[in-house]
Amino acid sequence: MDLHEVLESTLPGLGYELVDVERSARGKLLRVFIDKPGGVTVDDCMAVSNHLSRLLAVEGIDYDRLEISSPGLDRPLKKASDFIRFLGEPVKLKLRVALQGQRNFAGILREINDGVLKLEVEGKTLDLELNNLEKARLVPKL
């Protein structure tokens, strides 16, 4: 199994969702972003780090340093399930290919169906293809 498969099959059993994985250019730093309902604590990060350090050794996945982190207040949205979970929330999006001459949008997630995201922007609803999203993040509520 590759790294992503190992994490996707392991973290839910521990009660966490895999949000993202980053590897440094040389692959020596491995950063894993996790989430759970109610948020992630330092103790959660420590428990996942201890578990994954042993598991990754068994799986033969090479790294020098492992970091476990919460996704932060401006959590990235990557999977369709992320968008469903955060319906009604404010987001910032960047498109790969411009729509109406614009690539960056901020609005409220209203709906997702068949790979199309409905985003309310200034009272108007835009239909955005999920496969055209380059980046999507929650707007932090402070």
Q: Mind listing the pLDDT tens digit for each residue in 32-50?
A: 999 998 899 999 999 999 9
Number of compact structural domains in the chain = 2
75 belongs to a structural domain: no
User: CA 96 to CA 133: how far, in whole Å?
Assistant: 6
Q: Are residues 62 and 92 in the same domain?
A: no
pLDDT of 27 reads 67
Residue 32 counted as domain residue: yes
* 46 and 89, same domain (yes or no): no
Q: Assess if residue 31 is contained within a domain.
A: yes
Q: Dump pLDDT digits (tens) for 5-15.
A: 999 999 999 99
Predicted local distance difference test score (pLDDT) of residue 25: 77
Asked if 102 and 48 sit in the same domain, the reply is: no
| Residues 86-125 pLDDT 10s | 999 999 999 999 998 999 999 999 999 999 999 999 999 9
- Judged by DSSP in three states, 16 sits in coil
CATH number (domain holding residue 96): 2.30.30.180
Question: What are the E-state strand segments in 1-142?
Answer: 17-23, 29-35, 65-69, 90-99, 102-113, 116-121, 124-129, 133-138
Residue 122: give the domain boundaries.
Answer: 80-138
Q: Residue 136: its pLDDT value, please? A: 96
8 and 61 both lie in a single domain = yes
Residue 19: count of CB within 10 angstroms of its CB:
21
- Dihedrals phi, psi of 63, to nearest 5 degrees: -165, 160
Residues 85 and 113 in one domain: yes
66-69 long-range Cβ contacts below 8 angstroms, 24+ apart? 66/30, 66/32, 67/29, 67/30, 67/31, 67/32, 68/32, 68/34, 69/31, 69/32, 69/33, 69/34, 69/40, 69/45
Of how many residues is the chain composed?
142
